[in-house]
Structure 1
């Protein structure tokens, strides 16, 4: 690694409990790379990692004007004082970087990509259009422009369907739905649609039933020539909310067919940089269907390493600093667990759809090793801060109850 080139974790929005940022700080920091991170305050888990050189406190909501976000990122660059590798952790940050490459060049290193591409890929409608254009299977989708179009869709649709916000930034500014929303029938759809106004910012997608599907993930880093310098595949065992949210537990499982499909699509797009893809294998027609394309680091990226110890964040730093990226087979059979959400996800999977003890078909019977999202023996404070921030609302409620009880006596 070139230890003279720092890394900067870039985020837009208020989500202090983000294990992906902590993972990136540790991944490069353990190799001696100076790490900086944009944080909400000085007491987020990322801000207290032993591998962080300095937190750059800059609270954002994602609703700020683009010029203000750009100015804040440039201030961070001047504060670091030397070119740093940018590592975005959300779609908003990835789009901001792509659309302002000329202004950011003085202070930062980042993969050069067509400026409009990350926004299209982060958009559910844009992604579906690109999948159709390049012959990549994806769920049948509709992007209604008016309430009347929602009504016409409801008359002919086969329910259940899934509703998602159409574009990046919408989830923070004026989200029509919160995350992926499963809609059981026409009446429920119309009730929800009346809240969306005359210009619904949603995409309505075909629902791929759990009983006939399996969730897969692809993480990769693509270099300037469109070739994958690191590419990994895995099975999502549990997510929160169930079957539609953030990964709670996953396993590294080699899948050459899916890897080839993803690599071919990325090369056709001409995308460079880190990607995090969600696929669902539909056993009804034997196709892998692309659900989400995140043009940035995925929160669970530390599940994946090759035999040379390279993950996608290390691959990007090596490539952007002119180093060769060592090749190697992926570390198969490893498990990744997010401690603050997997216990409740595990309980939901046992009680919910899929039957008691539901298990993704390709989940290994026994993990060869486990990577925890938060807890690390050499860096314990992020896990402690995560727990403290989770428990704080409950502690405040208990204190109010106890204070009121004492006042009453």
Structure 2
């Protein structure tokens, strides 16, 4: 049978698209989650094995044992692919023992975490000549003075560790408009023992957000890449992609490849840039070090990241490739895009006509696939249960 692929996380569409990207090439996919409920990726016809294991945070040692026991029972080492930030942190924390039994692109323990940490990421980016927004640390003795002189209001209070911040505050960041709000939000973060930074807002609407999606081989050389332009996000202005187009932007290759190769990165990474509406300069905002929201879009454009990863790690790499033309393809996460559109129109950022016009394009859907419909029905059931739960709680 050869090497299997173990996909960590099946309760979100990123895990689902990873399962599909491997399954369409007849790779045996074992998908792991911590509960059956809500894990609609396990319903995919491309999921060869559905495994329920210990929770990555509640029992990380148990999950390590669970995964290693699984790998020991295989004829060949499986390829391990995390599909959410907490799973990346888990893999990074236990990289030495997991690498003894699994094929994993990254060899340097701590690099994933270093890149996910906004503070150390900005230091790395500056060292490698990539522009980052002006930033002040929360413990700076002259925090208010520096914000008023160098950053100006409104500005952003952003977490150093995004998963912890999102888990606590259910949002990616705080936008503050004056000194009082700044001090209030920094204090809230301190009370929760969450480190934050204060950052300048780069001018430009959401369509000034771009991504450089790349795979780097074991020699830390970019072999496959594609660039995209966000059109809408949710939550609006500072959220995740919900409507994004593949867009060829060669400058992003120059910036992104130099940085990733410079830090000796291996495997897949997605760098988010924002183009300054006033200067045209690109600023590095953050890096995702796992399969991302746009995975199905990349696959449809011709860059199947999970399968590229699998083939290289199992000793049969795919020929290098870059997408150097615009294919008019868009990624669409319909559920959250409809919520975003309502907010964009309500706040006057987009007109109904412009939104309607944008829909007449070929799409890479987040969840729906006519060849693999069961996950979409399972997701619909999950949404219905959430709605019923909210209605019941109000009574």
TM-score by length of 1: 0.86
Mapped pair 1:372 → 2:370:
no
Task: State how far apart, in whole Å, the 1-side matches of 2:393 and 2:205 are.
Answer: 45
2:276 equivalent among 282, 293, 305:
282
- Is structure 2 residue 157 aligned with structure 1 residue 163? yes
Q: Deviation per CA, 1:184-218, whole angstroms, max 9, x where unpaired?
A: 22111112223233765111111123349701012
Per-residue deviation at 1:258? 0.8
Q: How many residues align?
A: 389
Equivalent pair of 2:232/2:241 in contact (CA under 8 Å)? yes
How much does 1:351 deviate?
Answer: 2.6
Separation in structure 2 between the aligned mates of residue 222 and residue 359 of structure 1, nearest angstrom: 37
Q: Are 2:295 and 1:321 aligned?
A: no
SS in 2 for 1:297: coil
What is the CA-CA distance between 1:339 and the residue it aligns to?
Answer: 2.1
1:395 and 2:395 aligned: no
Match of 1:122 in 2: 116
Q: CA deviation at 1:327?
A: 3.8
Q: Partners of 1:58 and 1:94 in 2: how far apart?
A: 16
TM superposition shift of 1:66: 5.2
Q: In terms of mean alpha carbon deviation, does 39-48 or 176-185 score higher?
A: 176-185
**Quick one: distance in 2 between partners of 1:72 and 1:152?**
51
Q: Tell whether the 8 Å contact from 2:186 to 2:196 is kept in structure 1 after alignment.
A: no
Q: Report matched runs for 1:302-313 at 5 Å.
A: 302-305=296-299, 309-313=302-306
SS of the counterpart of 2:372?
Answer: coil
**In structure 2, C-alpha distance between the alignment counterparts of 1:229 and 1:159, rounded to whole Å:** 41
Cross-structure match for 1:55: 50
Q: Residues 25 and 384 of structure 1: is their aligned pair in 2 closer, same or farther, counting only changes over 3 Å? A: same
- TM-score computed with the length of structure 2 as normaliser: 0.88
Which residue in the other structure is 1:196 paired with?
189
Q: Name the structure 2 match of 1:6.
A: 4
Sort the Cα spacing of 1:306 and 1:172 in 2 relative to 1 into closer, same or farther, 3 A: closer
Q: Is the 8 A contact 1:141 1:204 kept in 2?
A: yes
Which position in structure 1 is the counterpart of 2:331? 336
Measured at CA, do residues 352 and 93 of structure 1 come closer, stay the same or move farther in structure 2, by a change above 3 Å?
same
Are the equivalent residues in 1 in contact too, given 2:138–2:196 (CA < 8 A)? yes
Question: Superposition RMSD on alpha carbons, in Å?
Answer: 2.9
What is the CA–CA distance in structure 2 between the aligned matches of 1:109 and 1:251, rounded to whole Å? 32
The one of 293, 300, 313 aligned to 1:299: 293
Which residue in the other structure is 1:407 paired with? none
Mapping 1:202-217, distance limit 5 Å:
202-211=196-205, 214-217=208-211
Of the three residues 326, 344, 348, the one matched with 1:349 is 344
Contact 2:174 2:185 in 1 (8 A): no
- Alignment correspondent of 2:172: 179
Distance 1:59 1:240, change over 3 A: farther
Q: CA deviation at 1:335?
A: 0.9
Match of 1:70 among 64, 67, 74: 64
Structure 1 residues 168 and 116: CA distance shift in structure 2, 3 A: farther
Structure with greater helix share of residues: 2
Does 2:129 correspond to 1:132? Answer: no
State which of 221, 228, 234 in structure 1 corresponds to 2:228.
Answer: 234
Deviation of residue 54 (structure 1)?
Answer: 1.6
Partners of 1:301 and 1:357 lie apart in 2 by 28
Runs (5+) with no aligned partner, structure 2: none
Give how far 1:302 is off: 1.4
**Larger deviation, residues 298-307 vs 44-53:** 298-307
Give the 3 Å change call, closer, same or farther, for CA 113–106 of structure 1 in structure 2.
closer
Q: State the alpha-carbon separation in 2 of the partners of residues 213 and 50 from structure 1.
A: 35
Q: CA deviation digits over 1:204-239, x for unaligned, max 9? A: 111123349701012111001222221010111111
Residue 7 of structure 1: CA displacement?
1.1
